[in-house]
Amino acid sequence: MQLQRGSACNALHPVEARMARWLLQFRDRIDHDILPLTQQTLSEIVGVRRTTVTLLMRKLRARGAIRSDQRGRIEIDGPRLEAAACECRDIIRLEVEEVYRSGGPTPRTVTGDAI
């Protein structure tokens, strides 16, 4: 589900919105506004060159959506970063919450014939 949504997002949305979505998804997972990410790592995750991440970080800093230092930490301003992110972040978050609410996928029983 997340892979399909992520692939569609990569094809349809600008890289700035995708990077904002990734930063918000990380924030959702660690529940903290300071993310331990280097620009190099972020470039690998988003699938763009490091120089592109540098330019996007500059734009997001100018908007007040993030603050970063030289030690591989990015501090985010949630509401401002949400304004820069694509709608896929909310859709993915709701889908994941639904899976957790329903108890997750039902495990399948493997029989000897299926092996």
Return the ∠ at Cα 61 (arms to 56 and 62), rounded to 5°.
Answer: 100
Return the ∠ at Cα 52 (arms to 28 and 47), rounded to 5°.
Answer: 60
Q: What is the residue range of 49's domain?
A: 2-104
Q: In this predicted model, what pLDDT tens digit does every residue of 61-89 receive, in sequence order?
A: 999 999 987 678 999 999 999 999 988 88
Whether residue 115 lies inside any domain: the answer is no
Whether residue 113 lies inside any domain: the answer is no
Would the pTM of this model clear 0.85, i.e. be above it? no
Whichever domain contains 65, its CATH number is: 1.10.10.10
Give the model's confidence band at 105: pLDDT under 50 very low, under 70 low, under 90 confident, else very high.
low
Total domains, the chain: 1
